[in-house]
Structures are given as C-alpha cells and as structure tokens.
Amino acid sequence: MKIGGVEVGDFPLMLAPMEDISDPPFRQLCRKLGADVVFTEFIASEGLIRDIEKSRQKLDFSEMERPVGIQIFGHNVEAMVAAARLAEQANPDFIDLNFGCPVRKIVNKGGGAALLQDIPQLLSITDAVVKAVGKPVTVKTRLGWDEKSKPIVLLAEQLQDVGIAALTIHGRTRAQLYSGKADWSLIGEVKRNPRIRIPVIGNGDVTDGPSALAMKNQTGVDGIMIGRAATGNPWVFKQIKHYLKTGEMIDGPGPEERIEVCRTHLLTSVEWKGEMAALHETRRHYSHYFSGFPDFKPFRFRLMTAPSVNHVIEILEEIKTSYIR
C-alpha cells in the first residue's frame, strides 16, 4: 500500500498522534516493535508560525522513524498553510491534518473536531494545504460532531476530491470523546464506497490481535491506527501483526524486557528533552509498562514521585531484583 508515493506496507499498523505520548523516544520504540508508520504529537499551527519553542520541537524526528507524518491543527486557512509549509521543511513523509481531536481546549479555539461543525471551512483548509505543499497530505477525523451529525461518508468523498492521499477515521463522534463503543459501521461504509480510491485507515477500540482482525474483516480498511492501547505498550504492534499472520496470540513481554524498555524510553527521553521534562512525561507510561506486576503499588508510587532520573534507575533495579527470579 502507498500513501502518495510512499510505501507503508501491505496492511500498515500506525501509531496515532497523541499529545505528550507520541514523542520521538516513544515513536522509536514503536517502530522497533512493529509500527509501520508513526505520527508526531499534534502541533498547533499558530504556535508553529509564532516560533514557539515547544511547537517547533515537535517537528523533530529521527530517520529511523520513517515513514513519519507531522500532524498540525488549527482553524485558520492562512495559519494552517503557513504551518504546513514550515512542517514540510522538516522533510516528513506526510503532512497530517487533525480534524478529530475532541479535547475542549482545542475545540473551543475552533480546531480539531470543532471543524466537523463547519465542513466548508474544513474543506477550505484541506484544499489550501494540499495546494501549498509537495508532500502527501492526510487527514484524521471522526464520524461527526454528535449522533445527529455524522457526515463522514460524504466528507470522505469531499476530502478525496480536494486531493488528500489517505484518510484515518476514528469511529466515534466528538460528543463521545473516548467513551462508549467505537462504531466501525460507517468506516466500512466509507471503505466500500466505490468512489473512494484513497487508503482508508480505521481507528478506535483496537487493542489486540482479535480486535484488529475484527476491524479488518468488518470494515475492509487498508490499515489500522492505534492510539491509547499503545501507551506503555509498544509491543502491541508486534502482537497484532503476529495474530493477523497466524491467528495465534503471543505472550506479552516478560518483566526483564518491560524493565529494560522502560529504562530505554526514559534515557532516550532525557536525550531529547532534558531530565525534568522526561521525568514528567515518562510517568504516563509506568502503569502500563508494569501492568500485571503483583503488589506493585509501592513501586508505582515511588516511580511517579522520583525526583531525578538516577532515582528512577535505582527503582528499576529494585524492581528487577524483586520480580526476576
């Protein structure tokens, strides 16, 4: 399968763009463990064109992450075009437009899923960005704003007509946020639409091999994007691939591998963003890295409150001594 002219695999598994999660250290882990495509954290167009340091840093990626997409969001055509051009200078494989984020602080500013209430503006942004950059432009969005407004089937055609190279659909409305069950039926309707020629990527409630196979069979999608299920669990891509190939589940990583991957994640984060930022952001993954470890609560508390990287490394050594026989 290709997105634009970029080969991404027969049935690619993709890491979703997630704020403070899908940064370079975590993307690298996911690529090593089976992700075929990764996306950056979403970047505010206004922050990028104003040269805000945090926004600019999110453009960074390593060559080993390719194929990689840079995702931007915003509501203003001119700002989105300017941001897309800046993102293109970083030389990613794709420019991805976020029309699906349901978070209030983004929606209240007219970005993300808010544009599902203003389809003409959404299409104007997409059309302008496609014309402004040479990289393939992709879109990630939702079914619609709420149960009364799910325009995704027609919207997919409209987005294709203005020139996007691939479409990722999260099977929820904005009103659902991340609650309830994802509705894959409309994703399948988009994919089965004879007018649709671009790849359609499914997203929502895929957490393991069986759910990935179910989405593939029910919708016919060309690939799957995985978000929350990958947090602290970069092995999910490897496990899903094995299941899709063999129909068999494979065991998750043992304690030693989990500890070493956690250590690698932390130390790589320090290299990218400094000690304090790495300490705070890696904490989001600890509960998942050590899921299933019996009587782990005291260790978890110490990891979450450790004041330095050296303290975390010492705690990881204690964990190894306690759980590896």
Selecting among 101, 259, 262, 312, the annotated active-site residue is: 101
Q: How many helices (H) and strands (E) does the chain have?
A: 14, 11
> What are the tokens at 274?
């400094």
101 is catalytic: yes
Enumerate the H helices of the chain as residue ranges: 24-32, 45-49, 53-57, 77-89, 104-107, 119-132, 152-161, 185-192, 209-219, 236-246, 255-273, 275-289, 297-305, 309-323
| Gap between the Cα atoms of 87 and 95, Å rounded | 7
Tell the residue number behind the tokens 């952001």, with chain if given: 281
Crossing angle for the helix pair 297-305 and 309-323, nearest 10 degrees? Answer: 170
Among the listed residues 19, 28, 16, the one whose alpha carbon sits nearest the alpha carbon of residue 66: 28
Name the CA dihedral angle for 91, 222, 251, 211, rounded to a multiple of 10 degrees: 130
- Hey, which residues are catalytic here? 101
